[in-house]
Amino acid sequence: MNNIIIGLQWGDEGKGKIVDYLTESSDVVIRGQGGNNAGHTVIANGTKYVLHLLPSGILWDDKLNVIGNGVVIDPIGLVQEIERIEAQGIAITPNKLLISDRAHVVLPLHKELDAAREAALGDQKIGTTKRGIGPAYADKVNRCGLRIVDFLDREFTSQQIKRRVVDANEILVRHGLQTFDADEVIAEVYAAFERLRPHVSNTIPALHTAWKSGKNLLFEGAQGTLLDIDFGTYPFVTSSNTTSGGSCTGTGLPPTAIQGVIGVCKAYTTRVGSGPFPTGDEGLSEYLHGLGREFGATTGRPRGCGWLDTVLLRFACMVNGVTGLAVTNVDGLDEYETLQICTSYDIDGEIHTLPPADRKAWDRAVPIYETLPGWKSDTTGCKNFEELPSQAKAYLARLAELCDAPIAFVGVGPDRLQTLVVG
């Protein structure tokens, strides 16, 4: 069965763990969008692995991992990531990792342009990771970007980089930021490309061959639905389609190759960066941070935390076509006497069960809560769904009812083994 794994909130839902868990029954794991602004943390056999561009299936010896055409790749960052994971004992060979020759490239200057744009926005900044993702996607849409395949022609690519450096330096000088020497950029990026060259290929035939031969495919989404460039809390979003449709456009596989969509959400809500957060709660944030939880895998920034928001989840399940929910971090609520679930918003006296498109309406959205009893017991030792406290099962049942999607998996801790299968 071929599944897409999608985040249903603002990212950081624990997708990496769910992908890692489902990889055991999969043959190919594919990343189709985003860049190294994503961060998946997987704990396997007591070891913590932090992944940014590499699909989470890279931790398994007998799986093919593919970075698809929809990803924007920082070659220097990817080489550093490969070297770090290999230093942890994970071999990464061309038979194990393929990189699409159609993927666009993030250059060092894209990062500085990202920083310049954020600085120019002042109080209205998006809160990006400043990894150059937005500028790289902007070049792609403006049809002036460089793709991996372009690096096979060094003369052409060098000329293009020199032009981009001239244009970028004009902007960077105005903002008092670091400028670039074109020859240094070319040398640095090409050194990384040569390290990646054995992995580069036209990945589309390989994926279609795997699909047609009956291999199990797992599509790994990055970020979350509410950061989708079309469906998220615009303009506080990322620059790619983080919803299930992006898995097709970002890999070259059609919708007919997909049988299921697993939507991953936390048992509460978190977000990093700027933008609306109706159910944000300072007390819950302080509690979870005090446990050493909810710090970004990419930036280390503390995440804002809040009560479960099913207005957002309902919408996310709708646009993704979710066939099963994976609810993670249930154990994060173990100590609470009572829990809140947001079921709708009151905006100027009108009840909304789906999020508004109007960015100004978010400032006036007042969450309407439903109170449920907590379970006040440790769930981390539960070995199956039936061992969960009755109040925890009731909480999950209500979540599923409000989102109109069944619970498929429950996470009660960071380890691969702390994943409970429902049904």
104-195 classified as CATH 3.30.56.10: no
Residues of the chain with CATH 3.40.440.10: 1-100+202-423
Q: Residue 37's pLDDT is what?
A: 84
- pLDDT tens sequence across 124-151: 666 667 789 999 999 999 999 999 999 9
Catalytic residues: 12, 40
Residue 77's H or E segment, with its range, is helix 75-87
Strand locations in 35-181, DSSP E? 40-44, 47-51, 64-67, 72-73, 97-100, 104-105
Q: Residue 120's pLDDT is what?
A: 62
Query: Three-class SS of residue 308?
Result: strand
Number of other residues whose CB lies within 10 A of the CB of residue 398:
17
Backbone angles phi, psi at 193, to 5 degrees: -60, -40
Q: Residue 115's pLDDT is what?
A: 79
**What CA–CA distance (Å, rounded) separates 132 from 106?**
6
Q: Which CATH architecture has domain 1-100+202-423?
A: 3-Layer(aba) Sandwich (3.40)
Q: Residue 177's pLDDT is what?
A: 83
Residue 311's H or E segment, with its range, is helix 310-320
Residues of the chain with pLDDT under 70: 119-128, 297-299
Strand locations in 334-404, DSSP E? 338-347, 350-352, 365-373
Q: Residue 42's pLDDT is what?
A: 80
DSSP assignment of 114-140 equals HHHHHHHHGGG------SSHHHHHHHH
Residues of the chain with CATH 1.10.300.10: 104-195
Q: Residue 126's pLDDT is what?
A: 63
Q: Residue 298's pLDDT is what?
A: 61
- pLDDT tens sequence across 296-326: 766 678 999 999 999 999 999 999 999 999 9
Closest by alpha carbon to 46, among 418, 415, 423, 419?
Answer: 415
Q: Can you say how many angstroms the Cα of residue 8 is from the centroid of all Cα atoms in its chain? A: 10
Look up residue 199 and give its DSSP letter.
G
